[in-house]
């Protein structure tokens, strides 16, 4: 069997899709080598023993799942850094070097360059279920294995929820971000424009209520360029918004109709055939249930300096090196023991991680 080699750094969606397709192809080839008679013979042999029935019961567990196991997308949106034993989670910031045009006999001002650092505190995410021995013997599937899988999914859900709360707050840090030296800090005299500095996050309103549109994505992508942020963008939305991407060329405005470009029908056809979004208007799409379909009444400014609220339907994030970092002191780990006081198998699932947003200007809210 060929060893799976993961790419260094960010794992693109195409790599995951290719591995999935290779696995499906391999299973189909393996299944084609077994005749129906051989399959029936193996099943009959298994059904003739209690152990075989238990094994069949484990395999039949899949159709009875309450829901699919949750998979977090947080680690695809930020850089991941694994701390060594006893290492302090301290990360240094970039430097700024001012320059100026001077006259023939002028002298440049001397400026001392300094950097600062941020300390990221990690915290525990835990789960502590147990399964009684009589319950384990009663079920016809491997309830211990199922418990571990569900525990992992629950821990990943809590990790993603914590990351979402941080992104939601940081994307509203509109005030007090300063401005780039040498650039007009107040273009057009718009005194109330909180993003004039190009260092603050932005909000882009949709043209169709509660729907992510091509126009909205185009404006958001342009906003990143105005903030000197270039690279792959990531769209983070609730899975319910997948309909927006498939139907983006089906305008709800009778006066406009479809017609959002010559390539719109081809893109729509690809989305329908693939069954998943992949990319949309140059941004990789990550669908996650922790992101609300519609988050109403969110303060425009997280610090309250600028008044007003807005309704958020998703987030557009810049490259992970600008967005932030997930510091992992201890990755997801599961310990087990047999507890005679409870007559049960006890599980202890935990991880010790912390989150850090590097530059809030790498976050944009998609609003309605």
Q: What DSSP string describes 69-126?
A: PP---HHHHSEEEEPPTT---EEEPP---------TT--PPP------EEEPPPEEEE
Cα–Cα distance measured from residue 136 to residue 133, given in angstroms and rounded to the nearest whole number: 5
- Per DSSP, the three-state class of 352 is strand
Burial class of residue 83 in the structure, from the number of CB atoms within 10 Å of its CB (0-12 exposed, 13-18 middle, 19+ buried): middle
Please write the tens of the pLDDT for every residue from 154-197: 999 999 999 999 999 999 988 777 665 555 555 555 444 434 44
- Partner residues linked to 345 by β-bridges: 131, 338
pLDDT by residue, tens only, the chain of 368 residues = 556 666 666 667 676 667 666 766 666 555 556 677 777 777 777 777 777 766 666 665 544 555 667 778 888 899 998 988 888 888 888 877 777 778 777 887 788 887 777 888 899 999 999 999 999 888 877 888 888 888 999 999 999 999 999 999 999 988 777 665 555 555 555 444 434 446 788 889 988 888 888 888 888 988 888 788 888 899 999 988 887 876 666 555 444 444 554 445 555 555 555 545 577 778 888 889 999 999 999 999 988 888 889 999 999 999 999 999 999 999 988 898 999 999 999 999 999 999 999 888 899 999 98
Contact yes or no for 351/330 (Cβ under 8 A): yes
Q: Reduced to 3 DSSP states, what percent helix, strand and coil does the chain have, rounded to the nearest 5?
A: 35, 25, 45
Cα–Cα distance measured from residue 348 to residue 128, given in angstroms and rounded to the nearest whole number: 5
* Whether this model's pTM surpasses 0.85: no
Token pair for 91: 């990360």
Contact yes or no for 151/336 (Cβ under 8 A): no
Within 195-251, where are the H helices? 214-226, 242-246
- Which segments of 160-260 are extended strands (E)? 202-205, 233-237
Number of neighbouring beta carbons within 10 Å of residue 96: 12
Burial class of residue 142 in the structure, from the number of CB atoms within 10 Å of its CB (0-12 exposed, 13-18 middle, 19+ buried): middle
Cα–Cα distance measured from residue 142 to residue 131, given in angstroms and rounded to the nearest whole number: 11
């Amino acid at each position: 069997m060929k060893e799976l080699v993961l790419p260094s750094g960010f794992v693109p969606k195409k790599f995951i899709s290719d591995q999935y397709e290779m696995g499906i192809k391999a299973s189909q080839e393996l299944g084609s080598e077994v005749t129906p008679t051989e399959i029936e013979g193996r099943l009959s042999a298994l059904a003739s023993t209690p152990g075989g029935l238990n094994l069949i019961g484990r395999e039949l567990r899949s159709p009875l799942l309450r829901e699919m196991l949750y998979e977090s997308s947080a680690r695809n949106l930020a850089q991941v850094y694994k701390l060594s034993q006893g290492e302090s989670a301290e990360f240094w910031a970039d430097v700024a070097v001012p320059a100026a045009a001077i006259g023939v006999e002028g002298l440049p001002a001397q400026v001392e360059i300094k950097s600062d650092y941020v300390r990221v505190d990690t915290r525990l995410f835990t789960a502590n279920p147990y399964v009684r021995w009589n319950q384990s013997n009663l079920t016809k599937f491997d309830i211990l294995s199922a418990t571990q899988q569900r525990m992992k999914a629950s821990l990943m859900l809590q990790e993603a929820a914590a990351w979402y709360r941080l992104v939601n707050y940081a994307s509203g840090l509109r005030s007090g971000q300063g401005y780039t030296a040498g650039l007009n800090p107040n273009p057009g005299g718009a005194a109330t424009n909180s993003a004039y500095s190009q260092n603050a996050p932005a909000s882009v309103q949709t043209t169709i209520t509660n729907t992510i549109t091509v126009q909205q994505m185009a404006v958001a992508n342009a906003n990143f360029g105005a903030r000197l942020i270039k690279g792959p963008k990531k769209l983070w939305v609730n899975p319910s918004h997948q309909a927006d991407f498939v139907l983006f060329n089906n305008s709800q405005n009778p006066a406009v109709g479809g017609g959002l470009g010559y390539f719109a029908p081809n893109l729509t056809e690809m989305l329908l055939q693939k069954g998943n979004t992949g990319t949309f208007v140059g941004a990789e799409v990550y669908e996650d249930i922790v992101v609300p379909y519609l988050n109403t009444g969110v303060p425009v400014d997280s610090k309250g300096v600028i008044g007003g609220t807005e309704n958020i339907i998703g987030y557009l994030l810049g490259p992970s090196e600008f967005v932030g970092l997930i510091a992992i002191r201890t990755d997801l780990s599961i310990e087990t023991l047999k507890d005679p006081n409870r007559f049960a198998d006890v599980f202890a699932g935990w991880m010790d991680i912390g989150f850090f947003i590097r530059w809030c200007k790498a976050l944009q809210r998609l609003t309605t």
